[in-house]
Amino acid sequence: MRAMLLCSSVMVVTTVIAQSAPFTFQSSGKQTALIELYTSEGCSSCPPADTWLSRLKEAPGLWKEFVPLAFHVDYWDYLGWGDPWASKSFSDRQRAYIKQGRSDSVYTPSFVLNGKEWRDWSQQKDGPKSGVAKPGVLTVSSSDTNRWQLTFTPANRGDADYEVHAAILACGLSSNVKAGENRGRLLRHDFVVLAFVEAALARGGDLAQGEFVLTKRRNTAESDLALAVWITQAGRFEPLQATGGWLAQPVSAR
């Protein structure tokens, strides 16, 4: 389907990574790929893409070689079914890719890999591999899964400004669709973005540091939640580095 970002920001405060925090996720020095899926329960073409993304839960490279997430858009809601996971801000984010020349048009299902439109996703059974670039190491840590401390150590010194982008993800979601193009279908979703923030980081010498707050947007089981975090240069869409992981191991993976 084809149709014709700007998400809420949070204040970032300079801080130091808490070494004793029970949740710590860290990238390697090599670039971890970021996979974004733009999808909708109102789109009859989307279920195969949702299924492909769900299979990545079992892929050996999950969180280390790639970080996946699904932004549910709202521009197909007018067909009769309001996607319960959709947000206008996610639709705006996808449209922003068009303005920056990162995609040809706004459509679903649409994959973006490392900030660029990605059309051969179905040929990658276990997801993409890490990039050859070595941008630096990204570390995030939290004691309560709400307030996170972040440090990015660039591989090359410079005076670039950086931004953090972070999302709470949910797996194991499902909907009994009662109207629209998928009427009568039971749709299942994983890596669904529930909450999303982005903001500038503070520079401290050769490091970029900060703090961000993320809370669940909807009531979901704690065992189904994960975190995705990535760094870009200020004003840019292509990620430099990404990391993430389970906030509790999914029931299906135990």
**Tell me: the pLDDT tens digits for 81-140?**
999 999 999 999 999 988 876 667 899 999 999 999 999 999 988 999 887 899 999 999
Highest average pLDDT, of 19-28, 37-46, 219-228, comes from: 37-46
CB-based contacts of 155: which residues, under 8 Å, 6+ apart? 29, 134, 135, 136
Band of pLDDT at residue 7, cut at 50, 70 and 90: very low
Position 248 scores a pLDDT of: 75
Q: CA-CA distances (angstroms) from residue 66 to 25, 58, 75, 84, 120? A: 13, 13, 28, 26, 16
Tokens of 196: 């999303």
Give the model's pLDDT for residue 103. Answer: 65
The 3-state DSSP class for residue 125 equals coil
127 Rama sector, left if φ>0, alpha if ψ -120 to 50, beta otherwise: left
Distances 11 to 62, 100, 179 between C-alpha atoms, Å:
29, 25, 40
Residue 227: which of 6, 21, 19 has the closest Cα?
A: 21
pLDDT in tens, 172-217: 999 999 999 999 999 999 999 999 999 899 988 889 999 999 987 6
What secondary structure, in 3-state letters, does 65-94 show? CEEEEEEECCCCHHHCCCCCCCCHHHHHHH
Q: For residue 45, is pLDDT > 90?
A: yes
The single-letter DSSP state of residue 62 is B
Predicted local distance difference test score (pLDDT) of residue 11: 35
Q: What is the pLDDT of residue 249?
A: 64
Report the C-alpha gap between 23 and 20 in whole angstroms.
9
| Model pLDDT, residue 21 | 57
Confidence (pLDDT) at 203: 86
48-85 pLDDT, tens digit each: 999 999 999 999 999 999 999 999 999 999 999 999 99
Point out the least confidently predicted range of 6-15, 188-197, 226-235.
6-15
- Give the span between the Cα atoms of 81 and 74, in whole angstroms: 10
Residue 157's pLDDT band, with cuts at 50, 70 and 90, is: confident
pLDDT at position 159 is: 80
What are the φ/ψ torsions at residue 171 (nearest 5 degrees)?
A: -115, 160
